[in-house]
Amino acid sequence: MASSAYATNIVLDYGSVHSGVGGEFVVKTDGTAASTAFVNATMANYNSLATYQGGFETFCIEYNEHFSPGSSYTYQVSPNAISTPSDPVSVGTAYLYSMFAQGSLSGYNYSSTTSAGNLQNTFWFLEGDQPSMPNTFLALLTTEFGSVAAAQGDSFTYNNGNVVNAASFGVAALNLGGIANNWPNQDQLVYQGRQNVPDGGTTLMLLGMAMGGMSLLRRKLS
């Protein structure tokens, strides 16, 4: 994941549905060429269900950070929330948000405020900012990582030894600051497309077989 060095500005506003002080939020261009290029390039990774008003939809990482809806902020893309550089985005957060961005998150209703609230509170829990989380995505997390505690980790090792982190799911932190680089101001999630396949190696095995001529065993990668 390349980092943008406090490059230009984006606009952060409320998304199509949102719950209380949480997401969904939408990241939009401020109208400049560089900002528009960033937003458009990022949106290309998102399903239309996870876009709104010409931008891509996102959620908070840090509970105690605040922003003014509709305002413009400088940004960078990094593995960590800017307020806690030693605390990367958790694998559970990245796993769920990657599916949200692709329009394939099981149990999520893209037109429901309740769904938005449940997902936001799950992210805050996985990032250590809430004492508990809703049960909505519990089965997904435990099926993938074995336990909620493992989903809260910075990395996860599958039984076959494959190690994944947030970048494996194509997810990073979008660090936002004030116009004069007054950091931190807010941290959101951004999906940049899967970097590799975090499924314990099954897909990699199938791809290898396909390359050997067994094309019927291929699996579509998104």
pLDDT attached to residue 201: 38
Paired strand residues for 77: 174
pLDDT in tens, 15-28: 999 888 899 999 99
Q: How far is CA 194 from the centre of its chain?
A: 11
pLDDT band at residue 6 under the 50/70/90 scheme: very low
Residue 177: the pLDDT is: 84
Nearest-angstrom CA–CA distance, 16 and 51: 8
Determine the pLDDT at residue 84.
63
Average pLDDT in the 188-196 region? 85
Work out the pLDDT band at 221, boundaries 50, 70, 90: very low
pLDDT at 200: 47
pLDDT of residue 16: 93
User: Cα separation of 89 and 169, whole Å?
Assistant: 11
pLDDT value of position 64? 85
Task: Report pTM.
Answer: 0.84
pLDDT score for 2: 34
**Per-residue pLDDT reduced to its tens digit, 123-161:** 999 999 999 999 999 999 999 999 999 999 999 999 999
Residue 82 has what pLDDT? Answer: 78
Does 213 score more than 70 pLDDT? no
Report pLDDT for 85.
Answer: 63
CA 200 to chain CA centroid, Å, is 20
pLDDT score recorded for residue 202 = 35
- pLDDT for the residue numbered 129: 92
pLDDT value of residue 115:
97
Report strand pairing: 163-165 vs 155-157: antiparallel
Please give the residue that has the higher pLDDT: either 211 or 99.
Answer: 99
For the cut 90, the answer to whether the pLDDT of residue 199 exceeds it is no
User: Does residue 208 surpass a pLDDT of 90?
Assistant: no
Task: Give, as one character, the DSSP assignment of residue 192.
Answer: -
pLDDT of the residue at 203: 36
End-to-end CA distance of the chain: 17
Q: Cβ(59)–Cβ(120) under 8 Å?
A: yes
Mean pLDDT along residues 89-96: 98
